[in-house]
């Protein structure tokens, strides 16, 4: 049993938790996309959700 969080296996917020395996590298920021994480696959490229949010805009109708 882990002596920090007292759980087996460690939850992801525990510093002893195993890092999930890296599966892809984000084509936009170069960060690793790890097992179990959401990502966007587009035209053969993988983009992490952080970048997806950065690249997503809400359409707003602006009256003038
Ligand atoms: Zn732990
Ligand atoms: Zn990214």
User: Model confidence over 7-61: pLDDT tens digits?
Assistant: 988 888 888 888 788 999 999 999 999 989 999 998 999 999 999 999 899 999 9
Cα-to-centroid distance, 8 and ligand 2 (Å): 31
Taking the C-alpha atoms of residue 3 and residue 7, their distance in angstroms, rounded to an integer, is 8
Cα-to-centroid distance, 24 and ligand 1 (Å): 26
Q: What are the domain boundaries of the chain?
A: 22-54
Cα-to-centroid distance, 28 and ligand 1 (Å): 32
Confirm whether pTM is higher than 0.95.
no
Cα-to-centroid distance, 44 and ligand 2 (Å): 15
**Which of 12 and 63 is assigned the larger pLDDT?**
63
How many CB atoms lie under 10 A from the CB of residue 39? Answer: 18
The pLDDT assigned to 21 comes to: 86
22: left (phi over 0), alpha (psi -120 to 50) or beta: beta
The pLDDT assigned to 19 comes to: 79
Nearest ligand, CA 52: 2
Cα-to-centroid distance, 20 and ligand 1 (Å): 14
């Amino acid at each position: 049993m882990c002596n920090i969080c007292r759980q087996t296996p460690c939850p992801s917020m525990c510093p002893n938790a195993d890092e999930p395996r890296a599966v892809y590298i984000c084509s936009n920021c170069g960060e690793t996309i790890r097992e179990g994480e959401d990502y966007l696959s587009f035209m053969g490229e993988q983009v992490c959700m952080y970048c997806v949010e950065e690249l997503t805009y809400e359409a707003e109708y602006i009256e003038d």
